[in-house]
Amino acid sequence: MRVPGLRWGDAVIAATGAGLVVTAFILAWNPDAGTEARSLVITQAGEPARREPLEGPRELRLQGPAGTTRVEIETGRARCAESPGTQNICEGAGWLSTHGDMAISLPNRLTLRVEGAEPAWDSIHY
C-alpha cells in the first residue's frame, strides 16, 4: 500500500507556478512609478476642489468654519503647518510628497491630497 504524497510532477507544477508569480510581481511592481508629486488638491466642504502646483516656497491661508488653516508649499511637497484642531491631526501628517499622501483638517472640513503625473499603485489595484 502506498502513502499519498507529492510526486515529482507535483513539485514541477508548484515550482513553475511560484516562478510565474515572482516574475509577474517583478514585471508589474515599480515603486517609483507615478510617485513624483506635481500638485496639491485642496478640497473643502461646499467648495469646488482647487489645484495648487508644488513649485517654489509659498504659504496659503485657508478659511474654514473653525478658523484658519495654514498650508506651506515647497518644491515637490506640502504640509498643513497650522490648523485650528485641538488634536493636531492635520499637522501630524507631516510633509506630503508622494502621490496619494493626504492630510485632513476635520474642524475646517478640509482635505489636502498630493497628486503625481500618474496614479501610484495601492491596495485598491490588487
pTM for this one? 0.65
Q: Find cell 506635481 and name the residue.
A: 38
pLDDT computed for residue 112 by the predictor: 92
pLDDT computed for residue 3 by the predictor: 43
Q: Among 94, 53, 51, 58, which residue's Cα sits nearest to residue 73? A: 58
Low-confidence ranges of the chain (pLDDT < 50): 1-3
CA-to-CA distance for 52 and 96, rounded, in angstroms?
A: 13
